[in-house]
Structure formats: C-alpha cells, structure tokens
Amino acid sequence: MGSLQLKSIRKAFGTHEVLKGIDLEVKDGEFVIFVGPSGCGKSTLLRVIAGLEDATSGSVQIDGAEVINTPPAKRGIAMVFQSYALYPHLTVKDNMGLGLKQMGAPKAEIDAKVAKASSMLSLEQYLARRPAELSGGQRQRVAIGRAIVREPKLFLFDEPLSNLDAALRVNTRLEIARLHRSLKATMIYVTHDQVEAMTLADKIVVLNAGQIEQVGSPMELYNKPANTFVAGFIGSPQMNFIDAGRLGDSAAKTIGIRPEHITLARDAGEWKGKVIHVEHLGADTIVYLETETTGLLTVRLFGEHRFAVDDIVYATPDTSLMHRFGGDDRVLR
C-alpha cells in the first residue's frame, strides 16, 4: 500500500503552464522529496497529487488505481501544511481525532489511535492543551499526529518546517525521520531546503521550471549530477563552474568542481589567486578568491584556517572529482 505513479502531469493557470509533463514513480514505503527553486512547480505538483488542484491533463495512480477524478478525502492521503492548520478552539486530542470523528469512527477507535500517535510524537502531556498553548514545534507535531491517526496510503508534507527556527527544524526533522522508519509509510515531502532533502530522502526529485531535471538518491545527485542545474542546486556552498576553455578542455563547455574538493596552500598549487573574503563558521572555513585562470572561486576547508583578505594563495582541485559539461549543459560521461 502507498505506491504512486504520475504520468504526463500537466497543469496550467491560464496560459502559464506550471507543470510540463511530469512522469514519476514512487514505491511503497519510500521517502521522496521534491526540491527546486521558488516557482518551479513543486508545491503545485504536491497539490495535484492530493487533489487540491486539478491537473490540466495526465494520470495520478495510487496503488495502481486512477484517482485523477477522485475527491481529496477519498484518495487515502493525509497532508501536513507549513501553517499547521489546527483549530484554535479544539484541544490537541480533539484536533488529532477530528478527521476520524468526521468519518464516523467509533470513539474507542479514535481514542486508541490518538493515544498511539501522541505516544509516537511525545505529545501525551499536551493532549488537553489548545494550539495557542504550544510552541511551533509542538503544533507541527500535532499536525503530523493528525495525519498519522488517519493511517493514509500517502503522507504529503508541504514545507512543514519552514516556520520553525533552526533548532526546532533540526529536532522536528529527526522526529519525521524516526517516524518514517517506524511507520514504514510512503512520504512525499516538498522543501526548498536542500539540507532537509539530503538528510531525509530516499529519493530526491529536482524540479526546474515545471520539469524534472533528475531523480536519484541524495548522494547520486551530489556525486553524479545530470546537468549544471542539478550540480549547482545540490550542495552548499554551490559548485564552482569554470569555462572549460580556460582549463584547456576543448571538448567541454564547463568544468564543475565542488568547494570541498579544492585545497589551499600559501606556497604552491594549480591556480594562484587573491583572497577576497573569508567566512569562519567554526567547523568549516569558506574562502572566496579570485584567480586569473578560473575567476571567482569558492573553497570549503574543514576546520578553522587563518586565511585573510588580500592573502595570495594557491588552489589545487582534485581532478578526479571534476565534472565536465557539454554545450547543452548536460554532463559528459
């Protein structure tokens, strides 16, 4: 239970086509994350899966059954929004059980499922409280609990952590990861935060301008990006892109090298440059330099390093980890 197949999904708002023929298969139990820049269509695609938006054309199949014309409430999905969408006048217990109550479930069944979900999410002590008495992270756990009690075929998350501060995002991310392992449920998750994508997903779908650029595991996308868009979008700081002609490569258009795959020295190396900015982050040091060969170059060094603005340094890339892209911006194998 919980497989999803999308075939040729298109969605247009007037003359503006937001989704341009999406084909995707999600296996039962997978944790799939949609990432991409603002306006790429990821939230619209999630809403089409949920039935909150009508596709202009195409097919949505859940467990092999076509649901493109099925109302949201009958698709076997539960959605968690970034805004929590809790009823302020209801207690945590009543918010979590409301969907089951509206479906006519017996009180004993509702109580049992709410108790189980609240235990999984460490919400037992908050069941009598109302949303205004909870922190943002607790409210989001209530919203997740409300989804759990419905035992859906698919869990859909629309940027659920974007309203939380950094510490709460980490804690709630761990909760969601633990929940996925416990439930073994199919989860589809939208985020603009690649750290969430890299740490949570079994499979990442990179979207751009309404189309899928690449689908793969987090490390597949990191190590083997299909094109310059994916290479630049996955990884932080962003991959360096260098005109291949500057490096004497006539067969490629662009050479890519990640900041963490470059070393710096003060005496000798491949590319001589001047430091223009340094970011001391504690665990990492990010050094920006200008070289005659590459132009602006970003280097990520692990640990603390004492480089300063205007220092003359030498950068050396790990050539075995360089990526070569052709005139169409696709990787050259």
* Domains of the chain: residue spans and CATH: 4-230 (3.40.50.300), 241-325 (2.40.50.140)
Residues 6+ apart with CB under 8 A from 154: 2, 4, 49, 62, 75, 76, 77, 78, 185, 186, 187, 188
pLDDT of 122? 87
Q: Which contiguous run of DSSP H or E holds residue 100?
A: helix 92-102
Please, which pLDDT band fits residue 167 given cuts at 50, 70 and 90?
confident
- Residue 320's nearest CA partner among 265, 261, 251, 271 is 261
- Greatest Cα pair distance, the chain, in angstroms, is 76
pTM score: 0.91
pLDDT of 163? 78
Q: Would you say residue 40 has pLDDT above 70?
A: yes
pLDDT-above-90 percentage for the chain: 77
pLDDT of 192? 87
The answer to whether the CB of 142 falls within 8 A of the CB of 80 is no
Residue 292, helix vs strand vs coil: coil
pLDDT of 29? 94
- Give the model confidence (pLDDT) of 211-254 as tens digits: 999 999 999 999 999 999 999 999 999 999 999 999 999 999 99
Q: Would you say residue 1 has pLDDT above 70?
A: no
pLDDT of 2? 85
pLDDT of 182? 87
Q: Would you say residue 83 has pLDDT above 90?
A: no
- Give the model confidence (pLDDT) of 120-152 as tens digits: 888 999 999 999 999 888 888 899 899 989 889
What is the secondary structure of 38-73 as a DSSP string? TTSSHHHHHHHHHTSS--SEEEEEETTEE-TTS-GG
Report how far residue 290's alpha carbon sits from residue 272's, in angstroms, rounded to the nearest whole number: 8
Please, which pLDDT band fits residue 170 given cuts at 50, 70 and 90?
confident
pLDDT of 211? 97
pLDDT of 20? 96
Please, which pLDDT band fits residue 193 given cuts at 50, 70 and 90?
confident
